[in-house]
Structure 1
Amino acid sequence: MPENHAAPSEITTSTVEHLAGLARIALTDTEIETLTSELGSILTNIAKVSEVATPDVPATSHPIPLSNVTREDVVSDVLSREEALQNAPAAADGMFRVSSILGEEQ
């Protein structure tokens, strides 16, 4: 894969106007000027990152390596159904009874 370290394409007001048209966004002249500058800056910064993102630099999603802290899944003493339901405000058919959250039309 050839490396491309060419300078980013220049963002012009006509480029921003074209993109706004494709997105169907109405922009004022002031917004077009601001976006032209901001998008140009973004492209410049992306080009800088591309310069250092070489194949020998691993891709990362976080600056510090992370790992899950897990424990063995071991069955231990658990509550029986009756014990779990003994302090429930309402129970029916061996389950907790709760208020309906859906309207009657559901």
Structure 2
Amino acid sequence: MGKSLTAIYVMQSVKKASQSCISRLLFYPVFTACLHGPEWLKDEVLVVVARFMLGLTNGYLTSVLMILGPKSLPVLEAELSAIVLVVFLGIGLVSGSVLGWFWIV
């Protein structure tokens, strides 16, 4: 769903998109508070909303950075930067899958 939001609105600033990616680190304290915090934070609704927002921002910001990355470079380097972005996205997906499999084992 987050990836589809780029059809409606795309950030025009790479700096704002990068800051938004860094601000996603605030989800860690939210999830920690849901596990170890006070009783009023140990609610399933908060966990569902936080996971939904994490997934939504992940898809949206990934798509935005894949769009803006090549646009921010000269034409001669844009194609190569897009290839590098896709390669590192693939490496991240594969390594996440492998680490997830090791978590089960």
User: Is the pair's TM-score, using the shorter chain for normalization, greater than 0.5?
Assistant: no
Computing the radius of gyration from Cα coordinates, the structure with the larger value is 1
TM-score under structure 2 length normalisation: 0.31
TM-score under structure 1 length normalisation: 0.31
